[in-house]
Every structure is written in C-alpha cells, then in structure tokens.
Structure 1
Amino acid sequence: MKRALLSLALLGLGACSVGPDFRTPQAQLPDSWEIIPGSETSVGGAVDSRWWQQLGDTQLTSLVERAAKSNLDVRTASNRLEQSRVLRQVTGSQQYPGVSTSSGYQRDRSSQKGLVDPSGRNGESPYEVWTATLDASWEVDLWGRVRRNVEAADADMQLTAAQRDGVLLSIAAETATDYIRLRGVQAQLTVARQNLEIARQSADLTRIRFENGVTTNLDTSNAAAQVSTIEATLPILQAQQDGLVNALSYLLGEPPRALNAELREVKAIPHPAPDVPLGLPSELAQRRPDIQQSEAALHRATAQIGAAQADFYPRVSLGASMGFQALNGSDLGAWNSRQWSYGPSLYLPIFQGGRLTGTLELRKRQEQEAALNYQRVVLGAWHEIDNAMTDYAAQKQHYAALQQAVQHNTDALDTARDRYKQGATDFINVLAVQRALLTTQNELVQSAAQAAVERVHLYKALGGGWPTP
C-alpha cells in the first residue's frame, strides 16, 4: 500500500496535461505604417506611455493623473482585477494538499432493540463520545485538470488587467478630450465677446451717422440686429462651458461644479508637440489593451478545453486521517485512544448523459469564437489607426487654411469699415464682412480644438498606454 501511494504521488508530479497548449497568435498587421502626408507622424521610437504630457498643458496633466486615481470606473476595474487575483489564489489552492482539523463532543444513547451499542452498555444508559482528528487530502492531477484550471485563472487575471488598462486609457483620453473642448468653448466665448465689441462700435457709428443724416434707419437696425445675434450666442457657449466642467468633475469622481474655481481662468487650447512616433506595427499587440484582452480570452478558452477533456479521465485522490476517540474526555489524549486511516480513492465517470461531451464541444466552440474575436480586434485596431492618422492630417490642413481665411477677413473688415466711414460703401458690406470674420474665427477655434482632439484619438488608437502600477 505504501509503495502504491508513493507511486501515485510520483505519477501525479510527472503527469501530463491533456488538451491543446496555448500559442500566442500572430497578429495580422502590416510591416510598416503608411504615413499620411501632413499627419506629423513618424515610424520608429516608442509611443510615450504618458502621452498626455505631449499636449503641453500642466493642468491637463494634473486632471488626467487625478482621474486615474479617483475615477469610479477605474476603481471598479481595479477592484475586478483584485477579484481575479483572489480567484486565481482559490483555484491554485487545488494543486496542494488540503489539511483540516476537527474536534467534537457528542452524548448518545443507543437502542436496546437496535444494533450493537458501541459503548457496551446495551442501550441501558447514555454515553459520551470525544473526538479529535487531523485530515488531509490531495487530488493527484494525472491528466492536468487542475493545472488547466489554474492556467485559465492566470489568463483570466491577465484579461482583467488588460480591461483595467483599457479603462485607464479611455478615461485619460476622455479627460483630455473634455479639457480640450472646454478650452475651445472658452476661446469661442472670447471671440464672441471681441466681435460683440466690434459690433457695438459699428452700431454706435451707424447711430451717429443716422443722427447726422448721412445714413438711413436700415443701417442702424442691421447694426443692432448684429449686436443681438452675437449676444444670443453667449448663453449657449456659457452652458457648454458649464457642462464640460461638470463632465470633468464626474470623471474625477467629484460633485457638479467642483472644478469651477480651478477651470474658470481662460487658458489657450493645448498645442501638441509636433511629432507623433507611431512605433512598429508589431508592437501594437503589446500596447493596445483590447488586443491584450482578446489574447487573454483566447488563452483562457484554450485552457478550458484541456480542463473539459480531463473530466473524461479517472480522478485519483489521496486521503489520510489521524486522531483520537474516547468515551471519556480524560482518555482523549491516551495513546490507546488513537485512530488513523489512509488510502486512495478513485472517481471514474461512466455515464453522464452527454454532459461531458457537451461541455467539451462548448469549450471548443468558445475557443473558436475567441480566436475570431482576436482577429476582429486586431483588424479593427489597424483600421482605427489608419482613420486616426487621416483625420489628424485633414484637421491640421483645415486649420492652416482657416488661419489664412481669418487673416484675409480681418483685413477685409478693416478696409470695409474705413470705406464706410468715408461714405464709399454701404453698411451691408461691412455687416457681411463682419459676419464672415466671426464665422471663420469660430471655425478656426473649433479646428484648433479638434486638431488636438484628433491627436488624442491617435494616441488612444496606438494604445498609448499607462505606466503599469
């Protein structure tokens, strides 16, 4: 018996694991990126893990890093990661022997008409039973069922870590985007107030000319309408500003308007550093959390196939128990009150009504789905990066053209106002040029903000990442 138990233990240590072994899938990515002209991107170098610092705004950096610590979605994802680590610990405990101890006291009386009374009193009086035992058990993992379950738990832990990193990346990108848009709205408010001042000056000029009989009431009405039109945009822009401040407050886990004092001061729209290193396409699978997550899911599904296959084979467990039993508490520690047992147990599935076959087929189908999902995620990442580079390049070109348009409209407005003062043109021309200037100034501000936002989208598409805690 001792030799048999020793042989089983050694067999368990050197046992094989049934089922397929996981192999890291090869991501179908291009050998190099196709650089879009005007996108300010370059191949080579490493994507900065603290990419938000490339936007050149210390207040934005502070908001992003505070959101990483206090955002409720991030904290929830971190909690799930800790749960997966605990679950891995629980699953891993199956690899080791389980040892427990127990003790008890029981007062019994046997039937005088029943079975033999173990106390020898023939059921004539009650008796006491005192016990104290130490039990140990261990499953000899002959076919790798436990090892495959541990492997699946490891993969699940990697999956939740990738999910946490994905949430961090998304929150960082959302915080940066809302901050950029906030600065954009504040810039639009500044433009509107500047144009409102110009419109009021024009209204005063038309009023003076009307009082002197040089112009008609039409010019004064048009000038007043222009003032009212610009004034009407201010409450809408103010509401947008308040909404973005609240959005940032929510991302930081703060109540509404908590950041009003901090963000009230108007600052310039963040101007990113001129160059974005794309890195190599082959590195994308190591950077993007969604690719890491889908790879871990495929690994988990592969390991679960092995666990399902191992259920078809016998399970051998080793058990041992030793302790004391006595009818009197004073005899419980006596040597002749000892008792012990040891030996193996065998579990062999014979008929399960198709449960094992169905489970195995399910695991195979789940592994196929995970493999397809990995391909889908990689292909989606490739498309997302290409689109992000295209959008970023287009927005930069759009911004450069709008800068020229604003300069031309500014010169045109100066000329039109001078000619109107000299009586060489009517006020309708001045009004048309002023409206064109206001439109292009707003478009320029929006384009500057959108260019910075597209830069954020490009970093997110590249899996810019977050330093691993």
Structure 2
Amino acid sequence: MKRLLQGGVLALVLAGVAACTTVGPDYALPKDSRFAQTQQQPVALDARGSSAVDAAHAAVAGRWWKLYDDARLDALVEQALQGNVELKVAAARLAQAQARYTQVLALGGVNGNVEAAAVRGRISAESLLQPEVLPVANFANASLSVSYQLDLFGKIRRAVEAASADAEAVQAASDLARISVAAAVVGAYAEICHGNHELAVARHSLELQQASRQVAARLHASGRGTVTAVKRAETQVATLQAALPLLQARKQAAAYELAELLGRTPDQVPAEALDCAEAPELKQPIPVGDGAALLRRRPDVRQVERELAAATAEIGVATAEMYPDVFIGGSIGANGLLDDFGKKVTQQFTFGPLLSWSIPGRGARARVRGASARADMMLAEFDRVVLQALRETQTILSSYAEDLRHVAALREARDRAEVAAADMRRLYQGGRVPYLASLDAERTLASTEASLAAAEAQVSKDQIRLFLALGGGWADQAAATSAGAAH
C-alpha cells in the first residue's frame, strides 16, 4: 500500500510538471515580416486615376461574379462549384487533413488495451531452472491495461498545433481552388460571349468588303475603275476571311474549357453559354479595399501563413523528442494454466509510471536545426507571397485603368470612323469622290470595330484577374481561417 501511495504522489507531481512545460517557440507573426508591416501601415491600392465608375475603395464582395447581374453566369458558376473535378480533389485533401488533425488530437489522453489468449504448448524447462522437460499443457492469458501519457514537454501539444495549422493551410488552398475555378468559369463564359461578338463584327466587315469588291469589279468592267482597285478589294476580303477561323478556334477553346470546369466532356457545353452574344458587364464599381484587408483575404497569403505556423510548431515537436516520454498506468489480468485460470495463483496487476527515453544524439539535434531552418524558409516564403500579392494587385489595377482608357479612345475613334464612312459613301454615291476613298473609309471602320471588340474582351479579362487578385470569393471563410494570423 505504501508503494501504491508513493506511485500516486509521483504521478500527481509529474502531472503538475506536465501542465506548465512546453518546449519550442510559441508562434507569433514576426514583427519585421512584410505582412506585419502592411498591417501597421496599410498599403493603399491605387487604380491610377480610373474613374469612380470603375473602382471604389470599399469591401470586396464575397461572390464577386454576382456583380455582373447575369443569371446564366451565376448558374454556370454554381454548377462548376458542384461538379468541378479539381474541387473534388481539394475537398478530399481537406477531409484528409482534418482526419489527420483528429488523429493527432487523440494521441494524448487515456489509452486502453485488452488482450486474451488460450494456447496449448510446453514451457521451456531451463527458463524455469528445471532439469526435466515439462509436460504439454493448456495455458490462458488475459489482461486489461490503461495508460495515460504525461505530455511533460509539450510534444503532443506542439503536434496538435502543427496539425491544426496544416489543416487550416489546406482549407486556404481549398478556398483558392474554389476562387480560381469561379474566375475561370467567368473568364471562359466571357470569352465565348466576346468571341461571338467579334465573329459578328468580323462577318459584318466581311459582308461590307464583299459588297465593295463587287462594286469595284463592276466599275472595272464598265471602264470606270482599275484592276488595282479590284485587287485591293479582293485582298481585303481574303484578309477578313482569314481572321474568321482564328476567332472561331478561340471561341471553341473557351467552350471546351468551360465544359471541363463544369466537370463535363467537350461535347456537353451548355447551349445557353454558346448562344451568348453580349458579354456580362459590371453594374457597379469594383470594390478594391486596401492593402491590409487584401492580405488578410487572399487565400494564398493565408495558406503560407498557416504553413509558417505549422513549421514553427514542428520545432517544438522536434525539441520535445529529445526528452523522455512518461506514461502512468496500470494493468490487471491473469496468466497461467487453463485449469487454474482466474484463481488467485494466476492473478497479476501492475501500477506506476513508465519512462521511455532515447538519449539524444547528433541526429536528434539535427532534426531540431532542420525544423528551425524550415521555419526560416517558410517566413521568407511568406514575405515573398505577400510582396507578390501586392505587386500583382497593383499591376492589374494599373493595367485595368489603362485598358479602360484604351477602350474609351477606341469607342471615340469608332464613332468618328462610322461618321466618316457614312459621309464617304454618300459622297461616292453622288459621284464627288472616287471609289477608293470610300473603300479606305470602310476599311478603317472595320479595323476600328475589330480593335474595339478585342479591347473590350481584354477589359473583361482584366476585371476577372483583378477580382482574383483581390481574393474575393469566400469572405466569411477567409475571416475565420485568417484568425490564426492574429494570434
């Protein structure tokens, strides 16, 4: 009994020590990190003079594609979020990471073990210091053991921290995959719409040029025109015809991409997407927020920050492995001849602490240095991703503003070209200018309309890239997951 009490006192002392000792560094975002600096002095995101109808310093919308107010686009994005194969892979990875966290969480606490066996055999006589061979007999063994690992140095706690941070990093990667798929769907849909529009513009230009070629041919046949005028008209027709296959190929490529994003085969492109003739347009300014909010919202920044937290916790795990593992527990059971099984002579029990220690050598210390080096690497990677996010967003904002100006200038040029072409047609029909002057005006108009259509398509791409760079998509999840950055 005295020994039992001594064991209980020892267990209480060890438990008290376990409650207050955790080796390794506690995770805190370094004050000199680029992320911390942007939180102290937020970076202003500058749209480089774009008008108020194009950008606004307001909170970024969650499901940003709804700003286009396009029901067909909304339906396509929802279908992709349900059927996209890449997102199914991301969901499986997230489930795996969460299961791994649950597994690590179960390392501590009480563990039990039950064993039972009934065998026939012979015990070695020499093992019992007996000179004669022992007879064959029936034996039975049964035991119930319970143990509790005392986390004296925080090995389990650090492992739980690392597994939790890893799961949050995978969650951020899953968010990034969802945002990327949504952006790709919007991009493919807009590409199809712009492709249809550019094809319509190209075909209209071709029809005008074919009509001009017919006029040039008639003038030449009547002796009022030249062979050169006919050849120029035919060359322009051939040039416009050559552009059609390229535009059609771009449209088809976007349609096949959309089908893949929806989890479908290339022959299952939604008809409503193929029939789109007008690309979606924003109904309100793009909310860009500020630099501090951007970094807290972007999934790639959240992902690498959680990976840094996990790497920091792994230093504690590696350090704790240099110290003993201490368990306290006991077992009861019986072991002996089957005929006597359960009698007092076969009963046995144990109770007390168990210490297991692999004396640390160079390898254990190298593991600690390796874990520290990985944490340093992840901090550098964190700074790189932060700077890249700021640079990427600022670059896209600048490009978007300049492309908007480009579109505005092309629209003005298109309007002037329309007026000039109409005037030249009237003058030609009245016999006041030669045919070539009218042909040049028509060619200028066709070229301007094609340039405008391509520029409008580029603006749509800029908008999608900007929303992706701003990290819009799942604001609630982002806020919850990024909470680790505040600790």
The residue that corresponds to 1:380 in the other structure is 388
Select which of 324, 331, 334 maps to 1:324.
Answer: 334
**CA offset digits 1:364-408 (Å, max 9, x no partner):** 111111111111111111111211111111111111100011111
Q: How far has the Cα of 1:331 moved from its partner?
A: 5.0
Aligned to 1:24: 29
CA distance in structure 2 between the partners assigned to 1:418 and 1:23 by the alignment:
76
Contact 2:193 2:277 in 1 (8 A): yes
Q: Which residue of 2 aligns with 1:15?
A: 20
Determine if the alignment matches structure 1 residue 258 to structure 2 residue 268: yes
Q: Identify the residue that residue 338 of structure 1 maps to in structure 2.
A: 347
Matches within 5 A, 1:263-342: 263-328=273-338, 332-334=341-343, 337-342=346-351
The equivalences for 1:89-128 within 5 A come to 89-111=102-124, 114-116=126-128, 123-128=133-138
Q: How far does the alpha carbon of each residue in 1:55-105 deviate from its partner, in whole angstroms, 9 at most, with x for none? A: 232222222222222222211111111111111111111111211212112
Secondary structure of 1:244's partner?
A: helix
1:42 corresponds to 2:56: yes
Aligned amino acid, residue 395 of structure 1: D
3-state SS of paired residue (1:115) = helix
Report percent identity of matched pairs: 29
**Letter of the 2:112 counterpart:** V
Q: CA deviation at 1:460?
A: 1.3
* Structure 1 position 355 matched with structure 2 position 363: yes
Q: d(CA) in 2 for partners of 1:467 and 1:66?
A: 20
The whole-number CA distance in structure 2 between the counterparts of 1:241 and 1:444 is 17
Q: SS at 1:95's partner residue?
A: coil
CA RMSD of aligned residues (A): 2.3
- Please say if 1:448 is aligned against 2:456: yes
**8 Å Cα contact 2:189-2:273 kept in structure 1:** no
Instruction: Identify the match of residue 464 of structure 1 among 469, 472, 479.
Output: 472
- CA separation in 1, counterparts of 2:313 and 2:330? 31
Counterpart-to-counterpart distance in 1, 2:258 and 2:373: 43
1-side partners of 2:186 and 2:30: how far apart?
Answer: 33
Once the two structures are TM-superposed, the CA of residue 257 in structure 1 deviates from its matched residue by 2.6
Which deviates further from its counterpart, 421-430 or 88-97? 421-430
CA 1:260 to 1:216, structure 2 compared with 1: closer, same or farther past 3 Å?
A: farther
| Deviation larger for 24-33 or 312-321 | 24-33
Letter in structure 2 aligned against 1:202 = S
> Does structure 1 retain, via aligned residues, the 8 Å contact 2:73–2:189?
yes
**Aligned-partner SS, 1:23:** coil
Moved more, 91-100 or 8-17: 8-17
Q: How many Å separate the matches in 1 of 2:301 and 2:49? A: 28
CA contact (8 A) 1:60 1:176 kept: yes
Q: Does residue 79 of structure 1 match 2:87?
A: no
Alpha-carbon distance in structure 2 between the residues aligned to 1:406 and 1:97:
78
Which amino acid letter does the alignment assign opposite residue 214 of structure 2? Answer: D
Hey, what's the Cα distance between the residues in 1 that align with 2:291 and 2:408? 30
Letter of the aligned partner of 2:128 in structure 1? V
Q: Does 1:219 align with 2:229?
A: yes
State whether residues 114 and 143 of structure 2, in contact with CA within 8 Å, keep that contact through their aligned partners in structure 1. yes
Q: What SS class does the counterpart of residue 94 from structure 1 fall into?
A: coil
Secondary structure class of the residue paired with 2:61: coil
Q: TM-score, normalised by structure 2?
A: 0.89
2:393 and 2:360 map into 1 onto residues whose CA distance is 53
Q: Which runs of 5+ in 1 are unaligned?
A: none
Q: Within 1, Cα distance between the matches of 2:347 and 2:89?
A: 52
Separation in 1, partners of 2:195, 2:92: 36
Pair 1:6-2:16 in alignment: no
> Could you tell me how far 1:434 is from its partner in structure 2?
2.2
- Measure the CA separation in 1 of the matches of 2:87 and 2:13: 47
| Deviating more after overlay: 292-301 vs 303-312 | 303-312
Matched, 1:435 2:448: no
TM-score with structure 1 setting the length: 0.92
Among candidates 67, 73, 76, match of residue 80 of structure 2:
67
State the shift of 1:126 in Å. Answer: 0.9
Corresponding position: 1:238 with 2:248: yes
Amino acid corresponding to residue 200 of structure 2 in structure 1: T
> Which structure 2 residue ranges, 5 or more long, are not aligned?
1-5, 478-487
Secondary structure in 2 aligned to 1:137?
strand
1:204 pairs with 214, 224, 228, which one? 214
> 1: CA distance between counterparts of 2:443 and 2:138?
102
Counterparts of 1:164 and 1:420 in 2: how far apart (Å)? 63
* One-letter amino acid of the counterpart of residue 443, structure 2: R
Asked if the contact 2:15/2:150 (under 8 Å) is kept, the reply is no
The 8 Å contact of residues 269 and 448 in structure 1, kept in 2 or not, is answered as: no
Q: 1:71 to 1:89 in 2, by over 3 A?
A: same
Please list the CA deviations of residues 290-344 of structure 1 after superposition, one character each: whole Å capped at 9, or x if unmatched. Answer: 111111011111111111222222221123221233422x654556543221221
* 8 Å Cα contact 1:287/1:465 also seen in 2: no
Counterparts of 1:369 and 1:42, CA distance in 2? 36
